[in-house]
Amino acid sequence: MRVVRRTGAPWIVVCLLGLAMGCAGPNLIRRTAEPEGPGDTWIVARDPAVARAVTASTAPALVARLDAASTTSTVLPAEKTHVAVTALGPIASIDRTKSYTVPAGALDLAVSFTPAATPPRQDYVVHVGGRPLTILVRERHEAQELARTQSNAHLVPTDAAGVVTLPVGAVSARALDMRVETSGLVPWRDGAYELIVPRVPDGDVTLAAELYGPGPIVVVSSPSHTIQAKPVSLDHLRVGLRDPQTLHDADFVLRYRVDPDDRPGALVVVGDGTSDVVGIVMHPVEDGHEAVAVSDVSIDWNGAAVTEVRPDPVGKLPAGTPLIVLARAQGDVRGPVTVRARCGREVRAITIARDDAIPAPDLRALALLWARAGRATVTAHR
């Protein structure tokens, strides 16, 4: 494995995780829809024209109304932020845990942020003092359609400036944490995955990243920050920042490569409380280290009983696109599975073996992505 540590100007790229860290401005805490018990789901209807005009998107921040006579809220500065990154090849989760001291006399708390213009769909799971909120950002028409299919969901628009503010209510504790979870796909650029971790503008910062191939990680580097990498195994690498406070200044860009000729991918299985979610995670197909398009995909599950396969069927994959197929498993899925596809000019049969070495908590993104794919299918067919 070659580990490159260097510091340079950050690359300007768009990651499918699509979250830019920032600080929301003062906003009115809207009362159009009050939360109903734990586990609220908020569907945010975003106006595409307004979103495109936003010059700086912001990540979820905690805001408070400090004066009973005031109609505005104040952004609370985070004292500490811990960023935890988990990447399984092209699938990544970023969790940011912010620690706050709530001012004495604060009347109401809310979560406020400005959705970015891209990607078109953004999902957050936000925990405020242990209370979970699921936030689904969609363009207006899709948000309205999705709200019809989700029970006990609150539909709320962004305001004229593109900001959304979701009420949390009164919290008696003076010290609390807000944890923001995001999961998404990492693009493949110039022969490697390129993951972007948004900058953290304030407070003390720590960062820890767990990289799983699947397969031997042959290169890891950062064009934006000086990193420290510690191999746990050929397939597993721990990465940190030599100076975590540099995350104040710029997004952290992390590049890593797994040679797809060495190991094309993995079959992974994780429980989500009701049954198992099984995932095929396959790296972009290459021919002589050049990425090629993939089409006519079929999967032999080797006798495993799987249902609700997403996507089904698999469409054409442009060159440099990983293959991710998720399904529900009925009973044990032993593997291996066989992916047959036209790769460039030839037809290949690619064997994907099961990988049980990855801890279950580091596979939690599979269930989230499976559910997200189902929501997209529902809205697409209405």
DSSP for 10-30, written as a single string: PP----TT------PPP----
* C-alpha distances out from residue 8 to 73, 118, 222, 225, Å: 38, 25, 8, 7
Per-residue pLDDT of the chain (382 residues; tens, 9 = 90+): 444 433 333 222 222 233 222 223 333 333 333 333 446 899 999 988 888 888 778 889 999 988 877 778 899 999 999 999 999 999 999 999 999 999 888 888 999 999 888 888 888 999 998 788 999 999 999 999 989 888 889 999 999 999 999 998 877 788 999 999 999 899 999 999 999 998 998 899 999 999 999 999 999 999 999 999 999 999 999 999 999 999 999 999 999 999 888 899 999 999 877 789 999 999 999 998 899 999 999 999 999 999 999 998 999 999 999 999 999 998 889 989 999 999 999 999 999 999 999 999 999 899 888 888 876 654 544 4
Query: What is the structure's pLDDT at 377?
Result: 53
**Nearest CA-CA partner of 234 in 221, 254, 218:** 218
The 10 Å Cβ neighbour count of residue 75 is 18
Q: From CA 138, how far away is CA 67, in angstroms rounded?
A: 33
**H or E element at residue 33:** none
Both tokens assigned to 305: 């009983």
Report helix, strand or coil for 291.
strand
CATH code of 265-380, in short, is 2.60.40
Query: What is the structure's pLDDT at 39?
Result: 66
How long a stretch of residues is the chain?
A: 382
Query: What is the structure's pLDDT at 268?
Result: 95
Q: Is the pTM of this model over 0.85?
A: no
Parse the chain into domains and list their residue ranges.
2-258, 265-380
Query: What is the structure's pLDDT at 29?
Result: 31
Q: From CA 298, how far away is CA 295, in angstroms rounded?
A: 9
Both tokens assigned to 143: 């948000």
Query: What is the structure's pLDDT at 31?
Result: 30
Query: What is the structure's pLDDT at 376?
Result: 61
Query: What is the structure's pLDDT at 24?
Result: 30
DSSP for 326-351, written as a single string: EEEEES-----EEEEEEETTEEEEEE
Both tokens assigned to 273: 């409380």
